[in-house]
Structure 1
Amino acid sequence: MIDISRELQVVANTGRLTMGVRQSIKAILNGDAKLVIMAANVPPSIRQDVERYAKLSQVPVFTYAGTSWELGGALRRSHKIAVVAIIDPGESSIMSLAGGANV
């Protein structure tokens, strides 16, 4: 089992990611997103939108076990982050999560 918080920091340092609902949906629709991670407390309407677009684009979606505050903290941000789209994993092994269901 990988440490998702550590892997997110590696992606932030060596790869590319986008944070936020609108930017993540844009990355999904443009075909840039390789993986989408959502906080456990994302409102159902946002969750449905992101999951619908991800399914159409065949992008795996995972639910981070923590809240949006905790997801923001994992990325060393001092604000909430509900959705993160991984564009380029860099040196991270975060893409190994693509075979699972929840993070």
Structure 2
Amino acid sequence: MDFNASLRKAVKTGTVFLGRNKTRESIEAGKAKLVVVARNSPESVKNLVNEIDIPVYAYEGSSVQLGKACGMPYVVSALAVIEPGESDILSAARV
């Protein structure tokens, strides 16, 4: 599975919230099915995902690379997949 391709498809066809604040809100609301965290995410984000019972994918790249993988021209330190759409991204989850 090509994670970047699956991620981009989820962003295009599903519901994905980008950024640490939206990710936190999605987790707290119980809507997130998968959380993706960039390698260089702030400690506050890493601490947040350590406390949840939701699948987490540790993205090997930086927040700049994660933003590009999402097709966005800005950095993305974390994101929450609410609905995967036509993507198989939920199969990439590592708890």
1:74-89 alignment runs, 5 A limit: 74-89=69-84
- 1:65 is matched with 60
Identity of matched residues, %: 35
Structure 1 gap segments, 5+ residues each: none
Q: TM-score, normalised by structure 2?
A: 0.93
Q: Is the 8 A contact 2:26 2:80 kept in 1?
A: yes
Task: Report deviation, 1:4.
Answer: 1.0
Q: Is the 8 A contact 2:3 2:92 kept in 1?
A: no
Tell me the distance in 1 between the aligned counterparts of 2:20 and 2:2: 23
Tell me the distance in 2 between the aligned counterparts of 1:66 and 1:10: 18
2:47 paired with 1:48: yes
Task: Report deviation, 1:76.
Answer: 1.1
Tell me the distance in 2 between the aligned counterparts of 1:22 and 1:6: 24
Task: Report deviation, 1:78.
Answer: 1.0
Structure 1 runs of 4+ aligned residues shifted over 4 Å read: none
Task: Report deviation, 1:93.
Answer: 0.5
Query: Equivalent residue of 2:35, what SS?
Result: strand
Q: How many residues align?
A: 95
Over the residues paired in the alignment, what is the CA RMSD in angstroms? 1.2
Structure 2 gap segments, 5+ residues each: none
- 1:5 is matched with 4
- 2:25 is matched with 26
Q: Which of the pair is proportionally richer in helix? A: 1
